[in-house]
Chain A
Amino acid sequence: MDESEFLNKIREAVVKGDIDGAREIAGEAIKAGVPALKLVNAMSSGMVEVGKLLESRVYFVAEVLVSAEAMSQALEVLKPYLSVEGTKKYRGRVVLGTVEGDIHDIGKSIVATLLQTAGFEVVDLGVDVPAERFIEKIREAKPDILGLSSLLTTSLPEIKKIVEKLKEEGLRDKVKVIVGGAAVTREFADEAGVDAYCLDAVEGVEICKKYVGG
């Protein structure tokens, strides 16, 4: 197999969610002298494809999780051969979290994976994150973008609370705020005074890219 065949195969393994396959191809490709960096980029392009399949409802969250697992296991094989710097263009920093009162992590984790793949440094605060914690992290990490996720309608008021707190602390114009998740609607986002509403993870990544200049 030549280099381009390895790259196609590993990309395909990620798209298909072939966990064992992705790991094996990564090992074989390294032995054959394919640069680890090229393999990572091929897998990233596979994840972009997975995002598109999710968007068009050919894939569902279950398939995305399996693809993400395939990529993450292959990355374990490649790690020793990678110099982390320079794997991809650094785009900027995003602080992400699911708001307080909501413990759903899947949607947010998909966004985190896709953002990392696209070259963002992601600070994932996890789920059930109090407004104060977001503020504290924004001061500390100085991100370009703050991403808030809410799957429960009951935790929607948290988003407004965070926006208010950002204003109070004089941080609102220092960071772009994007929101997403099943409970959030475009109307709610407008009302809450955030910068953008993301229908899904793919749109979220596109919006982030736009904010940091493409």
Chain B
Amino acid sequence: MSSEADEWMSPRKRFLSAVLGGRVDRPAAGSATSVATVEQMEQTGCFFPEAHYIPGKMAELASAAYEIIGFDCIMPYFSVWLEAAALGCRVNWGDKYRMPDGVSREGLGITDPSQFRVPEDFLYKPTTSALLEAIEILRRRYPNVAIVGKTMGPWTLCLHILGVKRTLIWSKIRKELLKEWIKLLKEVSIEFAKAQVKAGADAICWPDHATGDLVSAETYREFLLEVHREAVRRVGAPLILHICGDTVDRLPYIRETGFDCFHFDSKCGDPLKVRVIAGDRISLMGNINNPKTLLYGKPEDVMREAEHALEAGVNIVGPECAIPTRVTNENLKAIVKAAKQFRNKLSR
């Protein structure tokens, strides 16, 4: 069995090295999306919905990923709504079992970009400032653990601000107008990312849900490839792209963006296939199935899937996306166990 003494890297060094594709003492374990569960809420005394927007509770609940589960990173932004709320969208913050969601299907209800202004105090709004403060708290408390921030990319912000249906229809028939919105909202994503880095985040997760369930690979190329390249240049810190669903067809574009790491879904299929397409241009994070394996599987099922991901060359093993809050700590700990045992396998 591996002992802690065999591990010569701090979780922070291990996670960052894995994100950047460098050498590691063993594979990293963790996630760039929420791993908060009801069990962790009960253990930390910090529950949803307060832990979505109260800095101390965000930090405390997020720290369970390291303290209780043993992951190499801590990520305190559990939902996808902090920026949208700061931009004026009404959000139903849910409860301890349910993730937040927008109140209106129409977003802000405006379509003309000239009618939209990013508030000057965007970074000081209750939700955005809460995340920045949570990151500051975590940075002070955990110098040796990777602190991961999160900023919604402009595509996801369009889904929130314009509504899903309108965004998708415009991607086919009002392309120039949608591009104008993306250009405008890209600035929100980049500025929020930079502020999180300044607050102490080591890396930033950039969810941008141009998924194979909604749009084609060509839509990704046309609307987002250049925007993502620009984000990589301007943010400067390590960036992790997250897109749910099957993204295999757009992976040849994603690997050209310069993102350091891609957090991918089990719907992509065998992680080996994803590694082959990604080549060595981008690190991989994921892709343990949520509904089947983590929620309803046993620890041994989780370990089996985690080992398979690691054998395929996934750099940071973890859930495919934000996990259902009813997942057990036991199942999450099995991911860390698999990562630790994998080192022994390599050295045998």
Contact = CB atoms under 8 A, between A and B. Distances in A.
B63 to A, nearest CB: 22
Nearest to B216: A60
Nearest to A66: B172
A148 B168 CA distance: 23
A60 B292 contact: no
Nearest to A106: B164
Contacts of A60: 212-216, 219
Given A17-B173, A101-B98, A154-B99, A62 B215 contact: yes
- Which residue of A62, A69, A103 has the most chain B CB atoms within 10 A of its CB atom? A62
Contacts of A187: 292
Interface string B304-348: 000000000000000000001110000000000000000000000
B33 interface: no
A65 interface: yes
B219 A62 contact: yes
Contacts of B290: 153
A149 to B, nearest CB: 13
B49 to A, nearest CB: 14
B169 interface: yes
Interface string B270-303: 0000000000000000000011100110000000
A66 B173 CA distance: 8
Given A154-B98, A183-B291, A61 B168 contact: yes
B101 A65 contact: no
B88 to A, nearest CB: 19
B169 A66 contact: yes
A123 interface: no
A187 B289 CA distance: 14
Interface residues of B, number: 29
Contacts of B326: 154, 157
A13 to B, nearest CB: 13
Contacts of A61: 168, 213-215
B101 A185 contact: no
A159 B326 CA distance: 16
A62 B172 contact: yes
A19 interface: yes
Interface residues of A, number: 25
A183 B102 CA distance: 19
A65 B212 contact: no
A155 B292 CA distance: 14
Contact of A106 (B102, B165, B171, B245): B165
Interface in A48-64: 57, 60-63
Given A60-B216, A61-B213, A153-B295, A19 B173 contact: yes
A65 B169 contact: yes
Contacts of A106: 164-165, 168, 214
A133 B171 CA distance: 35
A152 interface: yes
Contacts of A152: 99, 324
Contact of B325 (A19, A65, A154, A183): A154
Nearest to A61: B214
A154 B324 contact: yes
A119 to B, nearest CB: 25
Contact of A105 (B105, B171, B213, B215): B105
Contact of B168 (A65, A153, A157): A65
A182 interface: yes
A65 B172 CA distance: 10
A35 to B, nearest CB: 29
A167 B101 CA distance: 31
A162 interface: no
B205 to A, nearest CB: 19
A69 B214 contact: no
Interface of A: 17, 19, 57, 60-63, 65-66, 69, 101, 103, 105-106, 152-157, 182-183, 185, 187-188
A-B pairs, top 3 by smallest CB distance, nearest first, are A62-B168, A153-B291, A153-B324
Given A154-B324, A182-B213, 10 more contacts: A17-B172, A57-B249, A60-B215, A62-B172, A65-B168, A69-B169, A154-B326, A155-B98, A156-B291, A156-B324
Interface of B: 97-99, 101-102, 105, 164-165, 168-169, 171-173, 212-216, 219, 245, 249, 290-292, 295-296, 324-326
7 contacts: A66-B172, A66-B173, A153-B291, A154-B97, A154-B324, A154-B326, A185-B292
